[in-house]
A and B are shown apart, each in its own frame.
Chain A
Amino acid sequence: MNAWLFLTKKEFRLGLPSFLMVLIFFSGIIAGGVFAGNQFGFEDEFMSIALAIVLGLHTLFLVVYLYYSLNAERRRLHLWLHTPMSIAGLLASKLFTGVVYMLSTFIISIILAIQSFKNTFSFVHQESLFNSIGSTSVIVLIAALFMGSVFLLFWSVYLTFSQKWNDFISFLLTVVLIFVSVWAYAGLLDIPFLQALTNWGAIHAGDIFIGFEMSYIEDSFDIQTMEEATVFYIGHFVRDIFFAVIMFIAACWIIERKVEV
């Protein structure tokens, strides 16, 4: 355990530059929002748009972070892999530091977003606002973890390919494999049995927007469309986490058995 903590300390240091780059990038978007707001009026509205973009981009945070960190490691696989620690331990350390970095920018963004949304959507009930921000957070963070696991899996696949072929061909092959996998995964999700298994814990827009806002929204939109667009299932979150874990394990297996320095 102590070894893992020391390793994690190293990971924080190794991944720091990518965290700073992301931080600067996000600050740039928010600064852009502020600037546009000043330019055209509608300060709160532009700020809200900027923050919504930043929050949404967090889904890719772990991918960027892991790309940077693993790429740094690729040049010294002989160091990284020459350890009695399990691959799961090595990857978990990277994932953990990535999540900590992600949460730090995410929490700041959320706090700013609450302030800004309150002003922009002043007609929405407090509780509805919290509900929607809360559910957005869950969606974004789970999506980020899912994407992170996807990246880990295909990075290890890419490394395996690159032992046989050059980087460009390996990259192409990996991309092809990603498309095939996405297509297969979409097909898998369409299987009625899996749907039956995961379509539970439905959350409707109505569960998020309470009281009179619902009728307000009903006035503006067709309620049916709204319902369909915003219904999501807790079962799907569980499904995503399940597949993320499977991909993580697969990545560990591939690196342990197939990757060579």
Chain B
Amino acid sequence: MISLKDVTKRYGSKRALDQVNLELTSGKLIGLVGENGSGKSTTLKLIAGLNHPTNGEIKVSGNKVDRRIAQSVSYLSELDEYYRFFNVRQSIAFYASQFKDFDQEKAYEILKFMKLNPNDKLKHLSKGNRGRLKIVLSLSRNVPVILMDEPFSGLDPMVRNSIVKGLISFIDLEKQLVLITTHEIREVENILDEVIAIKDGSIIGHHNVEQLREEKHTSIVDWMTDIYE
């Protein structure tokens, strides 16, 4: 579904990713974890075609990635910037007009689940509700790949919990692959199928989470602490 082959990304002289190889299959919720600046966001942007690899090749569903991969990839940025003159309903309508696979019905279902008011202006939304709206917009597409960059960061526990529930409720794990970056592992450890640890631009571990628990009797957090040293 997603494959990275010897992918290196340099920003000037700084190496953000170093010879990364990754093979991700559909139907899974995958966590990409690591410290700030370890290359998590870069990886997501590269898969979304919003950054370009310095070397190597990235493919999604067999197609070489460029910006237009947006057709089959839904990308949620960690940034909190939307068109503030829209209200919630207009934001949904705008997204629906830009993406053919956007499912308005699903959007309103998630909206209801997240307890958002369609008439609220974006500029009046609280940070938590903006975080919820981002989830609505990115999960409403019937798209094979969903990329979420730090969906929990800066949000209070209640919002995080509703996002976790929203993920379980509205992702179609028969058809979709969800790749999520976070450093709040505890928040997601019960919903991940796989976990990938990244450090200084290199992948240092990639496991099935249940296997990790079954074979090594260790939690993701302990495993992370272990290999990160």
- A79→B85 contact, CB < 8 A: no
Complex Cα gap A75–B93 (Å)? 22
Whether B94 is near chain A, meaning CB under 8 Å from some CB there, is: yes
Complex Cα gap A260–B77 (Å)? 13
* B81 proximity list for chain A (CB < 8 A): 75-76, 78-79
In-complex Cβ contact of B98 among A85, A256, A261 (8 A): A85
In-complex Cβ contact of B97 among A3, A81, A82, A257 (8 A): A3
**Which stretch from A7-15, A194-202, A231-239 is at the chain B interface?**
A7-15
Given that A85-B98, A260-B51, A260-B52 are contacting pairs, would A14 and B85 also be in contact in the complex, using a CB cutoff of 8 Å? yes
* A257 proximity list for chain B (CB < 8 A): 52
- B50→A7 contact, CB < 8 A: no
- A84→B51 contact, CB < 8 A: no
Number of A-B contacts defined by CB within 8 Å: 64
Whether B48 is near chain A, meaning CB under 8 Å from some CB there, is: yes
- B98→A3 contact, CB < 8 A: yes
Complex Cα gap A256–B66 (Å)? 9
In-complex Cβ contact of B45 among A6, A75, A85, A260 (8 A): A260
Whether A71 is near chain B, meaning CB under 8 Å from some CB there, is: no
Write the B63-86 contact mask toward A (1 if CB under 8 angstroms, else 0): 000111011000101010111010
Whether A225 is near chain B, meaning CB under 8 Å from some CB there, is: no
- A163→B82 contact, CB < 8 A: no
Write the A1-37 contact mask toward B (1 if CB under 8 angstroms, else 0): 0110011001001100000000000000000000000
- B71→A10 contact, CB < 8 A: no
Closest Cβ of chain B: how far from A93's Cβ, in Å? Answer: 11
User: Which chain B residue lies CB-closest to A84?
Assistant: B71
- A14→B97 contact, CB < 8 A: no
Interface size on A, residues (CB 8 A): 24
* B66 proximity list for chain A (CB < 8 A): 256
- B50→A82 contact, CB < 8 A: yes
Whether A83 is near chain B, meaning CB under 8 Å from some CB there, is: yes
Given that A76-B81, A78-B79, A79-B81 are contacting pairs, would A10 and B94 also be in contact in the complex, using a CB cutoff of 8 Å? yes
- B83→A261 contact, CB < 8 A: no
User: Which chain A residue lies CB-closest to B97?
Assistant: A6
User: Which chain B residue lies CB-closest to A86?
Assistant: B68
Give chain A's interface secondary structure class: helix
Complex Cα gap A207–B68 (Å)? 51
In-complex Cβ contact of B94 among A2, A6, A77 (8 A): A6
Given that A6-B97, A83-B98 are contacting pairs, would A78 and B75 also be in contact in the complex, using a CB cutoff of 8 Å? yes
* A81 proximity list for chain B (CB < 8 A): 50, 67
Closest Cβ of chain A: how far from B18's Cβ, in Å? Answer: 18
Q: Which residues of chain B from 19 to 71 have a CB within 8 Å of any chain A CB?
A: 45, 48, 50-52, 66-68, 70-71
User: Which chain B residue lies CB-closest to A16?
Assistant: B85
Complex Cα gap A81–B11 (Å)? 19
Closest Cβ of chain B: how far from A182's Cβ, in Å? Answer: 29
- A76→B79 contact, CB < 8 A: yes
Closest Cβ of chain B: how far from A213's Cβ, in Å? Answer: 51
Closest Cβ of chain B: how far from A244's Cβ, in Å? Answer: 24
- B82→A76 contact, CB < 8 A: yes
* A78 proximity list for chain B (CB < 8 A): 45, 50, 75, 77, 79, 81
* B79 proximity list for chain A (CB < 8 A): 76, 78
* A7 proximity list for chain B (CB < 8 A): 97-98
* A85 proximity list for chain B (CB < 8 A): 98
- B85→A13 contact, CB < 8 A: yes
Closest Cβ of chain B: how far from A177's Cβ, in Å? Answer: 19
Given that A78-B79, A164-B12, A261-B45 are contacting pairs, would A256 and B97 also be in contact in the complex, using a CB cutoff of 8 Å? no
Complex Cα gap A259–B12 (Å)? 14
Q: Which residues of chain A from 184 to 229 have a CB within 8 Å of any chain B CB?
A: none
Q: What are 8 A-B pairs at a CB distance below 8 A?
A: A13-B83, A13-B85, A76-B79, A79-B77, A81-B50, A82-B67, A82-B77, A86-B68
> Taking beta carbons and an 8 Å cutoff, which residues of B are in contact with A?
11-12, 45, 48, 50-52, 66-68, 70-71, 75, 77, 79, 81-83, 85, 93-94, 97-100
> Taking beta carbons and an 8 Å cutoff, which residues of A are in contact with B?
2-3, 6-7, 10, 13-14, 75-79, 81-86, 163-164, 256-257, 260-261
12 further A-B contacts with Cβ under 8 Å, apart from A79-B77, A256-B66, A260-B52, are A3-B97, A6-B93, A7-B97, A7-B98, A76-B83, A78-B45, A79-B81, A79-B82, A82-B70, A84-B100, A163-B11, A261-B45
